[in-house]
Amino acid sequence: MNRKRLSFVVCLSMLAFASAGWAQHQHTRTIHPYDALGRPNPEAFEWTGISVGLNAGTLGFGAESTVHIAPWLNFRATATYLSATYKTTIERVDFDYDLESLGARLMLDLYPTRLKNFRISAGLVISDMEVTVEGEPDRNAILNGNVYTPEQMGRLRGRASYETVAPYLGIGWGNSVKPDALLTVSLDIGVMLQDYSFRLSSNGTEAGNEPFESDLNSVRSETTDVLDWLKIYPVVSLGFAYHF
């Protein structure tokens, strides 16, 4: 065997030996699931970075999905439906406030801590929120010292329509797309800021006449005092999610 062939055989043997050694090293290499700071190592888990779940809270019941963007950032979307009734009496008139809302929250969750459980959330709420207001006296009503019978007062009706898009800001706990997460529980606490338009009308015999319309303005003002509470809407939500 000449020198060239001998050198070629030696090189092939060394390459084969090195490849076998590297493969053996990869086979026996230990992959630690967590680093020194307690953060999960994605290589140690099978995960997609996508989760789906259910939630319930002050915005109603709904579904939620989260997508991993970066180790410190997630995108989250929720869809909720809410129907609720509130009763009160204003100027001897019994009122029903019927709230109905169908909407979605689109948020970015920022995780500033090393364990990635506490989050700061910001985004938008897109909703169709309306409050139907109806009131009817069962006895004489006194408005600004003037007495009106149920027939004169009639049935009062109004509708408050809130803005379609409102900003959302909040904090929370839970990260449903961590590499080591399968089933998780999360909590949101925040506020959404929204304005509204409202008009209250009457179908009584005094509707359109003075001083009834002037006296009715006092009822309108007290009626909107209740609706104003929804301008800074408190959001508290508890969720459960499954990570694929």
pLDDT confidence bin for 3, thresholds 50/70/90: low
pLDDT confidence bin for 12, thresholds 50/70/90: very low
Domains and CATH numbers, the chain: 48-243 (2.40.160.170)
Shortest CA distance to 244 belongs to which of 174, 173, 175, 181? 181
- For position 2, what pLDDT does the model report? 56
The residue among 69 and 91 whose pLDDT is bigger is 69
Q: What is the mean pLDDT of residues 80-108?
A: 93
pLDDT at 160 over 60: yes
Query: What is the end-to-end Cα distance of the chain in Å, rounded?
Result: 60
* Cis previous bond, 211, omega within 30: yes
What CA dihedral angle connects 117, 122, 127 and 130, to 10 degrees? 100
d(CA 223, CA 94): 11
The residue among 137 and 104 whose pLDDT is bigger is 104
d(CA 87, CA 192): 23
Q: Which two tokens stand for residue 244?
A: 């694929």
pLDDT at 6 over 50: no
pLDDT at 24 over 60: no
